[in-house]
Structure 1
Amino acid sequence: MNTLARKLRMNTIRSIMTWSFSVLILLMLSIVAVLLYDKFSETAERSAYLNTQQIVDQVGYNLEDYVAGMARLYRSIEQNMLVDGQWEDEQVTKQLDTIISSRDDIVSIALFDEQGNLLRNRPSVQVRDSARVTQQSWFHAALRVPNHLGFSLPHIQNLYPGTYKWVVSMSKGVTVVRNGKPMNVILLVDINFKAIDELSSRISLGKRGYVYIIDEGAGNIVYHPQQQLIYMGLKNESVERALKSSDSYVDESAGVKRLITVKSVANIGWKVVGVSYLDEMMTTREEVNRYMIRVLAVVLVLVIMFSMLLASTLTRPIRLMERTMKAVEKGDFDVELQVQGPLEVERLSSRFNLMVHKIRQLMRQIIVEQESKRKYELEALQAQINPHFLYNTLNSVVRMVGMSKNEEVITMITSLSRLFRISLSKGKTVITAAEELEHARHYLTIQQMRFKNKFAFAIEADEEALSCMTLKLVLQPLIENAIVHGIEYMVDEGFIRIRASAAGGALEFEVADNGVGMPPETVARLLSGEEIDKSGAGSGVAVRNVHDRIRLYYGVQYGLSYESALEEGTTVRVRIPAVRAEREEAGADE
């Protein structure tokens, strides 16, 4: 939860980009949604109007098709009930039987003369009386307009006793020849009103919409799905306006908005009226509204996810730069930031890499300066060592001159001159191991004369060690320390052995004496920098200087190591890298 909160904070580039993209896209989608909503709603309403019109038209077409079928039936009766234009009872009876048996929607067929007398009928039942026939509207219509198929309003069939079916009467006046005389005959077909009812009741205009049929002449309702309510006066229809209209209009007479669609049925004098409730049509608008809200919600979620992904992708190089900066902050200057991302981030990454590169250059410069400082310290240590050695040597020469030992003085001064020739080495700091051993030999010769042959010495060296390079004046302080602190206080003659060897990539000098030795605590303090003897005689300055010189020049992994025990002597080892003379000279030339 805390991680998500950090990601969504408004003070980060990622969160700013995420919310900016989301708000911008949501605003654009809202504008588009409003425009599309109006367009879709208008289209949906237009489609609803068109659909209602098509349904009403379909009802009208069905009725017209049904009427056309009945007209064809009348023509068939007229054509088939006569033989050579003459009325024949047998042929008429046969024709009527065929027709009524082939149509389920026909309730009865009857032929009447102008006085209302029954000539033939099917089914063959007795008519109540001819007076009742002549009073029927269909009878007068057939006489008034001969050869025209007329339709009556739905009514209860009352011509036959015991029969009370709800029918629509179709009548037509035709002229036939019977017994050689012309005779006007009225053909009556009563059809079951259920057929017309089924044509209209199958139609659905929404959940509450319906279709009803009116007569264009008097405006009487021919069919209504709520016929009983109409008869009981519990429901009214604005028939007058429907009679005057031939298109769609909105009616509010019932207290609600209704779309009224009118269609005239040809050749029958009826009108089909469709009634649709506008609030149901508006449901389409509400559905579109809900759909658009759902779409906006889904799109908003997708936009937020996409914005977070895009923001994460764009800010990834910046986060990588932040981690790299933290690494530099912790001291890791070997990092290299990959140049990637947008142009501005690439430029920033390049500048960062340039900055780190300059920092590394400055660090290398500092290292070079530190190396120079080490060399200056090295020269200072050498300057500190040389006077110390010169003081001890000249002190011995003075004593020998006082004792008139001229030959020994000459030998000592000769050794001293050669020793100083090697010490100077034309200003070089590094000399060969052979020169360092020669320097040690002259020094031991001088000290041997000084201490009146109190000790003997031996120098050994491997052939391959002689050509290795070493700092000069490494062995002399160690030999002096062995003589002064190890052998000078011995009763017996002392012995100093010096050995040089090269193995495992390292040059090692070993200076061993059989002197009085040192306790472990003295050995531990010898190279630690602690002062050993307050008097200065055993302070170990020379030994520490040698150790510091080696570590400054070659590194902390090189230097001196001591092994000593009381009354057993001391061995000190000098370990430095094994560098050949040729390699050193080549490096000097470069």
Structure 2
Amino acid sequence: MEDKSVSKEFDKLRSKWKLERYMRNAVPRSIQVTISVSFTIVALVCMLAMGVALYNSFSVRSEKMLTDSAELTLDQTVLALEDYLRSMRRMSDAIYYNVIKDQDISRESPIEQMNLLYEAHKDYLISLALYTEDGQLVCASPVAVEKPEVDVTTQDWFKTALARPENLHFSLPHVQNIFVDDPTFRYYWVTSLSRAVELGGRGVPEQGVLLVDMNYAVIKQMLEGVNDNPSEQYVYLCDNSGAIIYHPMLMQIEAGLYRENNSVAASYDDGSHKEEFMREKRIVTVKTMSYTGWKLVSVIPTSNSYLGMKDIRYFVMMILSITLLAMLILNRMVARRVTRPITKLNDSIREIEMGKVNPSVYIGGPSEIEHLGKTLRRSYDQIDQLMKDMVASQEEKRKSELDALQSQINPHFLYNTLDSIVWMIEGAKYDEAVFMITQLASLFRVSLSSGKTIIPIEDEIRHASNYMNIQKVRFKDAFTIDFDIDEEIKNYCTVKLIVQPILENAVYYGVKDMEDGEIRVKGFKGEDGDIYITVSDNGFGMSSEQLEFLLTDDTRVRKKGSGVGLINVQRRIQLRFGQEYGLKIESEPDEGCVVTIHLPAIEYTEENRKALESGKERGDEE
């Protein structure tokens, strides 16, 4: 076999179109892209880290601002509520210490003083009432008629006041249901302030209960003022056990449409707390009111706690986007400036890879790139000269080998053919003799081909046909031959004298001794675009052991025939077209044999013929 490096060089020259297609489709990772991507990734990671840190910092500050604002709102609201409750307590003290304690209830009624106090505070009060220990109404302001079925001794505010006489007691909001509804006194929502008092009479002090019904609307109005947008933040009021006194969505809660975590919030200490309720994270701020123990609770959903961060978020995103765009442009400019000399040198190497004659090698840029360019130029010149010398030597070797192969045509075939012609002439078979001479002349004309080794497939098939015509006469039509060659492949290149040796083997080792021998020659272009010529016979075939060495061991070439064995045909095809082309043999004993010739689809032109014969790049390929 030939030297592998030389074969590869010829394979590359003869497969230029495949290399060009590869170069068009290849997408190498350039240094410029690597540098640009690397710097961009580093810059992006740094900016993202900085953006996340800034955003987290702003988020913490925003959350702190919201909680501070909520605490401030609660402080102001608690002060207002405590001021209101304090005024009610002072009024209760005034009634008790200045009116009730100084009078003998059995002889005179404190109704006038209570009416005066009521009139002074009627915007905040619904009613004032004084009861004895056994639940008897002493007096009430404004004047009202007690419902006959009402028993105040069973109501919580009454029992609590007597049970703990030392304290003032505030009830949950409820509808006043003690007095008869008339045009001057309607039902109202109230919060009751009750306390135990001493009633003077007959010199024996008795216990009683003073009831101050505060207008719940006052408390509601105060809290509604801080609940302008309950969907984002709201405030509600509950007692120390969690019972709701006021809630902006109280109707929804009572209807079961909304739930509140009030029982848990009542257990919180004063300050801000984070909790998760109904799969929603929220910030809960609690403030306890003096006198009552009520808790004012502010609720801020976490999803809304960052609403104030929208502008900052957009600002940070805009800054990051602008910075990233600037970094991309800067990285690209720097990478292009750094890699431009390398890219130019790479283009020079690509030209060399594609086999361009006398490629322009870039020499410039930094000293390292300039040194590489000069070294590449010198190396290319040396390799080019060595290749020229090697190609010339190899071409001479191929021509000598081809001449030697062609000279192996068995003179015995020529002798037998001439002897047959003499016999025909002596037998006055002049037409047959003329036919034999014509076929023999055509046979040798194609064999010589003016010294050409590359001929059109049409000529090669004509040569094979002439040979088979002679053989049919010699063997007295002992077999049939059929040629089926597609017109489109007849003007493609082939090495000459590759079909005739295969036909000769088919005659001598396949169908010569058969009564109904058949040989078929078929030529066509395959789906892969290459040329295929098959020679099949229905002869005796051969075993797999014989097939194994038929194209690899030239010591097994058979003695009969022209002497130009299949291994020589295989070698001649591969010398011209490359290792991927050549012969493929399929056979089984008593099943005949099929020999397939595989050739590249190279259109036959004078330029391509000279390129193939000289071993240089051909100018017109498909």
TM-score, length basis structure 1: 0.44
Question: TM-score, normalising length from structure 2?
Answer: 0.41
